[in-house]
Copies of this chain bind each other. A is one copy, B any other.
Amino acid sequence: MTITRRPLREQIRDEVLTRLVRGDHPVGERINEGELADELGVSRTPLREALAGLAQEGVLELRPNRGFWLLPLTVDEVKETYPIIGALEAFALRQCDIQVLAESVPRLNELAQRMLDVDPLEAGRIDDQWHDELLKSCPNKRLLQLIKAQKTVVHRYEFAYFTSRKRIMRAETEHRLIAKAILERDMDRAAGELVGNWTVDPGVLREVFG
């Protein structure tokens, strides 16, 4: 038996992030450390470590002497963050092993298909898996780590974002086009499509932000 002894701060991080993503906490509001610590049944020390980490990633803001605040979801944040991820992933894709990529295509298409069959929430998770599978042969591990951190920020949006069936279908289409480009060994096109995959269309932005 492998007894789990994960540091408390990590467990807290996961739980807090889940709550924030789930929308339990009012957006744009202060987080009361004492209250939250009590709820979670832990002390403020590891909680603060977890919150500080999320602040550094850009999910929260830490105002001196005012505490942690859940940053509001803004159009700007979407407009800024998604393209960054697009650029990073395209860059990562170019460092991937083309042979491994080609071998991944069946799995990629399988995942693309599955996105259509599940509920919107699960779709976001599968979308993640798709991108992980795509970039798994990128030797620049630091780059992959960076991409992962950026995605944490946008995960908050996927609730609003992937609830649109249209959006899921668009993602599916794009995923298949990228897979096709890979099979044809056209990495320029694949990278271009990948950037496009991280481009939010204005219509959806209006839909989400009004």
Contact status of A80 and B49, CB under 8 A, knowing A64-B7, A87-B88, A88-B87: no
Q: Which residues of B contact A48 (CB under 8 A)?
A: 49
Asked if B45 and A80 sit within 8 Å, CB to CB, the answer is no
> Which of A5, A58, A84 has the most CB atoms of chain B within a 10 A radius of its CB?
A84
Q: CA of A45 to CA of B146 in the docked complex: distance in angstroms?
A: 27
Q: At the interface, yes or no: A52 with Cβ under 8 Å from chain B? A: yes
Chain A interface main SS type: helix
Q: At the interface, yes or no: A141 with Cβ under 8 Å from chain B? A: yes
A49 (CB) vs chain B CBs: closest residue: B52
Bitwise interface map of A from 71 to 100 toward B, beta carbon under 8 Å scored 1, else 0: 000000100110110011001000000000
Q: How many identical subunits does the complex contain?
A: 2
Q: Which residues of B contact A146 (CB under 8 A)?
A: 84, 146, 150
Q: CA of A91 to CA of B191 in the docked complex: distance in angstroms?
A: 14
Bitwise interface map of A from 14 to 54 toward B, beta carbon under 8 Å scored 1, else 0: 00000000000000000000000000000001001100110
Q: At the interface, yes or no: A143 with Cβ under 8 Å from chain B? A: yes
Chain A interface size, as a band, is 20 to 34
Q: At the interface, yes or no: A56 with Cβ under 8 Å from chain B? A: yes
Q: CA of A141 to CA of B83 in the docked complex: distance in angstroms?
A: 12
> Which of A5, A53, A57, A87 has the most CB atoms of chain B within a 10 A radius of its CB?
A87
Q: Which residues of B contact A91 (CB under 8 A)?
A: 83-84, 87
Chain A residues with CB under 8 Å of chain B are 5-7, 45, 48-49, 52-53, 56-58, 64, 77, 80-81, 83-84, 87-88, 91, 140-143, 145-146, 150
11 CB < 8 A contacts A-B: A5-B64, A48-B49, A49-B49, A49-B52, A53-B56, A80-B143, A83-B91, A87-B87, A87-B91, A146-B146, A146-B150
